[in-house]
Amino acid sequence: MYVPNGNIARRGLRGWWASPPRSGMQRIISPWEYRHLRAWAGVRMASGTALVGLGVVTVSFGGDDGKTYGWAMAFLAAAAANLAFAYWELSIARSAAART
């Protein structure tokens, strides 16, 4: 081996993105987020809960026009996406913990 300091990690953006090794759809998660999956899932759950609250408040205090329901649906759709992604991250974290 021609490695003077023992550091054999690949260089550049591609090497950074490939560390830690993961497969399939897990590659869309950035490496710094992948290293702390449970913490980021908690952040996504908190933001999803806040978005549900915003949707409920928008419907509660809004008028009868179509804009109110449009904004509420936007908040609730973003909340659903955040909560689904948090569930996915937690399932990855659970399966990684079971393997080690």
Residue 59: closest CA among 70, 49, 50, 48: 70
More confident residue, 27 or 75: 75
Q: Is residue 93 assigned to a domain?
A: yes
- Evaluate if residue 6 carries a pLDDT over 70: no
> Which residues have C-beta within 8 Å of that of residue 8, sequence separation ≥ 6?
1
Q: Is residue 13 assigned to a domain?
A: no
The range of the structural domain enclosing residue 56 comes to 36-99
- The Cα–Cα gap between 32 and 43 comes to 14
What is the reported pLDDT for 19? 63
> 5-9, 10-14, 82-86: which has the minimum mean pLDDT?
5-9
pLDDT tens digit sequence for 10-67: 566 556 555 666 666 677 777 778 778 899 999 999 999 999 999 999 999 887 777 8
What is the reported pLDDT for 1? 47
Q: Is residue 27 assigned to a domain?
A: no
Tally the domains of the chain: 1
Residue 25: closest CA among 85, 98, 94: 85
Q: Is residue 77 assigned to a domain?
A: yes
Q: pTM score > 0.75 for this model? A: no
